[in-house]
Amino acid sequence: MLLIPAIDLKDGQCVRLKQGDMDQTTVFGENPAVMARSWVKKGARRLHLVDLNGAFAGHPKNEQAIRAILKEVGSEVDVQLGGGIRDLDTIERYLDAGLRYVIIGTAAVKNPGFLQDACTAFGGHIIVGLDAKDGKVATDGWSKLTKHDVVDLGKKFEDYGVESIIYTDIGRDGMLAGINIEATVKLAQALSIPVIASGGLKGIEDIEALCEVEDEGVEGVICGRAIYTGDLDFESAQIRADEINP
């Protein structure tokens, strides 16, 4: 089970939002590269970056901070990035800079042709982020709820050749309300590609519960607010996960 620390970037700083609300921001670090290094030292094998400004603007906004992170740790761990990635040139630029995975969210739902092109051009490097509430997919920084069913879209994108899917329950994200394990497993069981859980991670009990369903296709979990507030000790949690499923 991969425990993946999230580094959410806003105006060049490391922050956390509550339920995707840019007005409910807590700053956790001024230097993203230093933050990235600290998680790698604690045993992280992958990092999850989000360009929050980019997600709302529709194009990269924190590229300087992202490049600093890649320069600091990109040769040691896999780094994945989402937020405002809407064209193939942006994907190519980030992959050339050392990024391992590009996460396509809103653009995958609104412009599936772009996702297909990305999978064709950059096979093995494309992850889709599906953000949902009550089984329906949300777009545009979670501000718009669509009628698309999560499982149906997941199957469609699997056929395109995406590497994996990050499933976020947006009703729980940043709220320390606990991972929606039932919905995550439901999606994973419907697919043959891995699913990464996200949204609401609360503590070690969530990690242990996810380890129990790893065989269903749940590859990892995004660790956000809980590892910054101290509700979850990242280092010991990754060790515990490795003990459960060596």
Distance CA 74, CA 99 (A): 7
Q: Where are the alpha helices (DSSP H) in the chain?
A: 32-41, 52-57, 63-73, 88-96, 106-110, 112-121, 150-160, 181-190, 204-212, 225-229, 234-244
Neighbours of 101 (CB within 10 A): 22
Active-site option among 51, 131, 169, 206: 131
Q: CA-CA distance, 61 to 16, in Å (whole number)?
A: 17
Q: Which of the following is catalytic: 8, 51, 169, 206?
A: 8
| Contact in structure between 149 and 28 (CB atoms under 8 Å) | no
Any idea which residue has 């997600």 for tokens? 55
131 catalytic per annotation: yes
21 catalytic residue (yes or no): no
Q: Which positions are annotated as active-site residues?
A: 8, 131
